[in-house]
Structure 1
Amino acid sequence: MKETYYQQIQLPSGQVHVYAGPSLFAALDYKVFEMANNNLQIPNQVYMGYTPDVHVGVGTCIGTTAVWNTHDGYVSPSIVGSDIGCGMRVHLTNLHKDELKDVKLRRKLVKTIEKYLPVEEHARGHFSDIRLEHIVQKGLHGLPKKYIPDGYTPRKASSLTHVESSKFNFDEEALNLFPERVWHRSHRQLGTLGGGNHFAEIQAIEIPEENREIAEAWGLFDGQVVVMIHSGSRAWGGSVSQYCSSNMAKMMKAEGMGTADPKLLFAPLSHPLAQSYVDLMYSALNYAVVNRHLIAYAIREAGKDVFGSKFEMRTLYDLMHNYAWEEEHDGKSYFVHRKGATRALPPNHPDNPEPYRVSGHPALIPGSMGTASYIMVGSEGGKSNFHSICHGAGRIRSRSATKRLITVDEFSSSMRVGMEDEIVVNQRSLESMIDESPQAYKDVDQIIESVVGAGLAQVVAKCKPLATVKGT
């Protein structure tokens, strides 16, 4: 590992390991370290690391990996985040970018996607025939067969195998804690994007020569059109977070637990409240992976409308970047939290899913609107950070500050509006989503440089945006 991309910072409460290039490190807000110091006060913590996209969040920074031994560990809703199971999904199409050269065709595709994929804030999903209890209990295995489009071609099937996890097991008694209104609202939101930085994007890939062998083994080719999806557990995960955080805060107050930050919540894994949180969190992880699957299903249907029945959209991979679970490292059991951090396992790691056992699995890293995204694979050096890498570009400006400082013209220029290579968006005006402009985020290329430079992962493909669908 090059020291240029790694620093070990000693704080009053312990050490935080920071993976970031010099300019990214120099630009870090002091609050990032203030927040780390509070987090390090949670008992029995064995490791805390920051990825280069780290920025201030609620209770804990986005870009955090925090680790405990399982036998005396803690769980923290603050180090998971409110959007439990938020993550990424990429599907491979059989299209080449040249087939989408015409900006009118890209606009038609975006408009057709909107027919199948609800994007309005209070939109109802199109999946009323799916039983929510099956989804939160069984994950992808709770879906009716009609929503597993490759189920009839098992040799080509990737819907259930090319995912970080297709089902999380937990004590289903915990589900009885939720009132009917939570179930109703969450059911309505199945298969919807949500707002903020969530998106579905049509991209074209470029493959660097050094990892062409891995790319081709994964079914990638230069110029290939792919679909990248970023979404999470919607109302279900939000309800889990709100309910459990409220109860945990009351418990902490009653037992005199806490740090200088009242929003930093935690409990020992042995505590009944911690166990109910873990159970409900896993139900939200099941919801999140199914939600992304259904978004992809909707986009596949739109693609068939536009390009015909021969249009293909095979799952490359689905993974999370907001969660906590048990992992084995060097023969020891750890409880690992990742908040805005992506697991990136190297080739031949035993935790890789079977299709990626030899090569390592795809690690999916989105950029900001108008910039490139990346498909990576973990390196052996990632062991130093419990195989965690970045989850995106990372904010440098709040939404309000972005609206105040960035002009529509600047945003328009970054989206190439009016040019042949315009990045088509579904929103009626750029002004309505200026808070998601590239100027609100760090430079994703610098983020990726830091990850590669630190020896955590390598680039397998660079994904350039062609069209973006955002929720409102």
Structure 2
Amino acid sequence: MTIKMNLNLPVNYKSHGGNHHEIELENGNLHLFANDEVFQSFEPKVYEMANNNLLIPRNQYMSYTPDAHIGIGTCIGTTAVWSMRDGCVSPSIVGSDIGCGMRVHTTRLHKSDIRDKGVRRALIAAIEKYVPTNERTNSNYEDIDIMDVVRKGLNGLPGKYVPDEQWLTHVEQADFAYDHSYLNHLPPKIMKYARGQLGTLGSGNHFIELQYLEVQAEYADLAAKWGLFDGQVVVMIHSGSRAWGGMVGREHNKVIKEAMRQWGVSNPDPNLIYAPIASHEGQTYLNLMYSALNFAVSNRHMIAFGVREAFREVFGQDMELPVLYDLMHNYALKEFHRGQPMLVHRKGATRALPPGHFLNTAAYKETGHPALIPGSMGTSSYIMVGKDEGLKNFYSICHGAGRARSRKATKELVTVDQFEQSLKVGTEDEILVNHRSLQTILDECPQAYKDVDQIIDSVAGASLAAVVAKCKPMAVVKGV
């Protein structure tokens, strides 16, 4: 079957059933997981970008999740795999915010405990007290040595910032080991920009959200094993590696781009860069990327620590916020698949391992781990669990709703009144926001994003993962 995509490329399409599409492009095959509605919504540019990505030598596999949309060099929503033996690493298929990811903490509270707007406003104010949301404001953790964090991840934090062992065990990875001598390749100014950013939210699509759960009946037993219950208040956090990861990316994009020039390697997209894993440039990037992953997981940890302090200020010092899980959706990680070590790139894609999989952390070996999928302001987020069938996509699922339009287009097409309606402003069910003027965050309104329910339907219909609980928003803290 041939489908038209307005490209000067031969495009053949094959359906594997269950929302799994395989598209034969000029330079290789792209797997795409989407229901019919989402599949038809993809614009030609995403296929053009995939075709460029497939020019990278010795690619083993490439796919898009249903939230895929145009990015720099590579679409957000990409999974791309190379053999560790002779493959490539691509900063473009890691993303600029290295280690960006999600974190969820549970509480003993029921949604009725924070239904009163006054209580939620008090929580928002307390969170802003402990978690800087302004780009120009530093955190107060001067006793934390950033170099300890980038070398050892969560294990580099002072003990007083680790409330209990679960804060170290219920994470995708607490620390990423690498050759610390590669830190010498970073410019000294990185400390100037990164110092004081540990435990800060950042701007853009990063957030702290107070939600309540709607547990899916068929997964009630699993939810209970995870400590979840219907109506439970949880905290979802989305942030990344801040200036540390940003500078690692910028500096080594330049290095690899210059190396490609010297090697005589080119690509139709000048923003798509890559290097052999075994090369000096590839090894330098990989090792420094791991330093940024350490910063990212520690940053979300310290944001959560600040949120815990805020909850204790409002509800008392016996209030605890157990960790459900912390995971990333921008990274390249060595994993074992098909009997060999592979470098799995996930740019805006979430790993969702099934029950019993050997890569699961010990805490979730039996059940599979929670896969955390944010929606957008005013819409549901989701807690999912991977399925065995996810093997066909290297256990990758979506990372969120995915943008439907650019920030500029959103500001031109969506009004503040429409934004207010989506947040139910003025009603008892209003989703409270920390910003006095919604105009300042209009580009993050729900209308900027795809329909998250369709995205989740695509993933579930492809048997990549299943929904354990919906997370309904009650209050949102955004950075500026």
**Which range, TM-score by smaller chain?**
over 0.9
Q: 2:361 aligns with which of 353, 359, 376?
A: 353
Q: 2:230 aligns with which of 214, 222, 228?
A: 222
SS in 1 for 2:196: helix
- Counterpart CA distance in 1 for 2:231 and 2:166 is 22
- Counterpart CA distance in 2 for 1:80 and 1:143 is 26
User: Deviations along 1:330-377, whole A, 9 cap, x unmatched?
Assistant: 322111100000000000001100010010000000001111000000
- Counterpart CA distance in 2 for 1:354 and 1:108 is 37
User: Deviations along 1:112-134, whole A, 9 cap, x unmatched?
Assistant: 11111101121111211100010
Report the counterpart of residue 338 of structure 1 in structure 2.
346
- Counterpart CA distance in 2 for 1:249 and 1:333 is 26
Q: Is the 8 A contact 1:397 1:440 kept in 2?
A: yes
- Counterpart CA distance in 2 for 1:20 and 1:126 is 44
List aligned pairs for 1:35-74, cutoff 5 A. 35-74=49-88
- Counterpart CA distance in 2 for 1:147 and 1:23 is 46
SS in 2 for 1:300: helix
Aligned residue type for 1:91: H
Within the alignment, does 1:146 sit opposite 2:154 as a pair?
Answer: no
Name the % identity.
Answer: 57
List aligned pairs for 1:72-221, cutoff 5 A. 72-150=86-164, 157-221=165-229
Q: Is the 8 A contact 1:2 1:454 kept in 2?
A: no
- Counterpart CA distance in 2 for 1:94 and 1:16 is 44
Aligned residue type for 1:411: F
- Counterpart CA distance in 1 for 2:266 and 2:290 is 25
Task: Give the C-alpha shift of residue 36 in structure 1.
Answer: 0.2
SS in 1 for 2:228: coil
Q: Is the 8 A contact 1:258 1:264 kept in 2?
A: no
Task: Give the C-alpha shift of residue 4 in structure 1.
Answer: 4.8
Task: Give the C-alpha shift of residue 103 in structure 1.
Answer: 0.8
Aligned residue type for 1:298: G
Report the counterpart of residue 8 of structure 1 in structure 2.
22
Q: Is the 8 A contact 2:329 2:348 kept in 1?
A: yes
Report the counterpart of residue 372 of structure 2 in structure 1.
364
Q: Is the 8 A contact 1:174 1:280 kept in 2?
A: yes
Aligned residue type for 1:264: L
Aligned residue type for 2:237: I
SS in 1 for 2:257: helix
Report the counterpart of residue 48 of structure 2 in structure 1.
34
Report the counterpart of residue 428 of structure 1 in structure 2.
436
- Counterpart CA distance in 2 for 1:101 and 1:81 is 38
Q: Is the 8 A contact 2:378 2:446 kept in 1?
A: yes
Q: Is the 8 A contact 1:69 1:333 kept in 2?
A: yes
Report the counterpart of residue 251 of structure 1 in structure 2.
259
Task: Give the C-alpha shift of residue 258 in structure 1.
Answer: 2.0
Task: Give the C-alpha shift of residue 178 in structure 1.
Answer: 2.2
Report the counterpart of residue 382 of structure 2 in structure 1.
374
Task: Give the C-alpha shift of residue 2 in structure 1.
Answer: 6.8
User: Deviations along 1:268-306, whole A, 9 cap, x unmatched?
Assistant: 011101000000000000000000000000000000000
Within the alignment, does 1:322 sit opposite 2:330 as a pair?
Answer: yes
- Counterpart CA distance in 1 for 2:316 and 2:425 is 28
Within the alignment, does 1:391 sit opposite 2:399 as a pair?
Answer: yes
- Counterpart CA distance in 2 for 1:405 and 1:230 is 26
Report the counterpart of residue 24 of structure 1 in structure 2.
38
User: Deviations along 1:424-445, whole A, 9 cap, x unmatched?
Assistant: 1111111110000000000000
Aligned residue type for 2:217: E
- Counterpart CA distance in 2 for 1:198 and 1:206 is 23
SS in 2 for 1:189: coil
Structure 2 gap segments, 5+ residues each: 1-14
User: Deviations along 1:378-410, whole A, 9 cap, x unmatched?
Assistant: 001100000000000000110000000000000
Task: Give the C-alpha shift of residue 467 in structure 1.
Answer: 0.5
Task: Give the C-alpha shift of residue 329 in structure 1.
Answer: 1.4
Aligned residue type for 2:19: Y
Q: 2:470 aligns with which of 462, 466, 470?
A: 462
User: What is the TM-score when the length of structure 2 is the normalising length?
Assistant: 0.96
Q: 1:294 aligns with which of 302, 309, 320?
A: 302
Within the alignment, does 1:307 sit opposite 2:315 as a pair?
Answer: yes
Aligned residue type for 1:423: I
Task: Give the C-alpha shift of residue 325 in structure 1.
Answer: 1.2
Aligned residue type for 1:3: G
- Counterpart CA distance in 1 for 2:195 and 2:297 is 14
SS in 1 for 2:323: strand
Q: 2:281 aligns with which of 273, 293, 303?
A: 273
Q: Is the 8 A contact 2:18 2:463 kept in 1?
A: no
Structure 1 gap segments, 5+ residues each: 151-156
- Counterpart CA distance in 2 for 1:210 and 1:257 is 52
- Counterpart CA distance in 2 for 1:278 and 1:149 is 31
Aligned residue type for 1:219: G
SS in 1 for 2:30: strand
